Structure 1
Amino acid sequence: MKNIHPIKVVFGDTDAAGIVFYPNFYRWMDQAAHELVGKAVLPVSKLQTERKIILPLLETFCQFKSPLFFEDQIEVHSQVVEVQNKVFKVEHVFKRGEQVVASGYEKRAWTSTADGVPKAVPIPEDVQQAFGLVKNPS
């Protein structure tokens, strides 16, 4: 499953020269990942309260290719590209029109809080199917 998350660069996202402050790319990746999971599986707030699952970050990376400026309209194209038992990787591509301005990824753990202590657990097959990574056996 792919998701496109639109963003308008606001004044507080930029520095005095009008260039986006780099940590905002990580904030936008986090927002895009939560939106992707919400559309594929369940909103993250319900995942946490109803299924006792949280998605802590294990690793992040972002490569900046072009500056963004105040009032730029961009899209974050996100998809889960890999699942390894208890961990999944979300790839993000930032686009202004057709131009790729940044790209990166996040690795997150599928983590249960059911016993009161966070513990990584295997990602259920139905979730992997919702991410588009496991073929339906039928």
Structure 2
Amino acid sequence: MPHRFSVRVYYEDTDLAGIVYYANYLKFIERARSEWVREIGVDQVALKAEHGIVFAVRRVEADYLASAKFDDMLDVVTEVQVISAARITLTQDVTRGDAVLFKSLITLVCIGADGRPQRLPADIRQLMQR
């Protein structure tokens, strides 16, 4: 089941042409991922404190298909594609109504304080696979 996160485009999100600055789509999808993780019941602060694990973006593939403008109401649609022991692959699309404006494929990795890959605890992996 995809996760939906709504975001309104503010003036600060736009560039001189009055459209959403390209890098702000990455901020929108980051917020959506944070809300998705929170809503499925994963406390990232506790994950770090108890297991020493944090999520890091390993790879982003992004396609900019159409422009969003000031005051648009957008949705970020997040769907899990693959979860392995230490890696999570998601698609995240930004839409305005039925129009897809931005498509991305995100690879997250679980890492420890030393920056090395760490296994995602099985209970958290199960929450993410629902």
TM-score (structure 1 length as normaliser): 0.84
Within a 5 Å distance, the mapping from 1:39-54 to structure 2 comes to: 39-54=39-54
Q: How far apart are residue 6 of structure 1 and its match?
A: 0.7
Q: Kindly, what percent of the aligned residue pairs are identical? A: 21
Instruction: Indicate conservation of the 8 Å contact 1:35/1:43, yes or no.
Output: no
Structure 2 equivalent of residue 121 of structure 1: 118
Structure 2: state its 5+ residue gaps: none
**AA at the equivalent of 1:14:** T
Tell me which stretches of 4 or more aligned residues in structure 1 moved more than 4 Å: none
Give the SS at the match of 2:129.
coil
Q: Deviations over 1:9-51 (max 9, x none)?
A: 0001101221110001111111111211222241323322343
**AA at the equivalent of 2:91:** E
Structure 1: state its 5+ residue gaps: 134-138
Structure 2 equivalent of residue 100 of structure 1: 100
**AA at the equivalent of 2:120:** I
**AA at the equivalent of 2:103:** S
Structure 1 equivalent of residue 82 of structure 2: 82
**AA at the equivalent of 1:69:** K
TM-score (structure 2 length as normaliser): 0.89
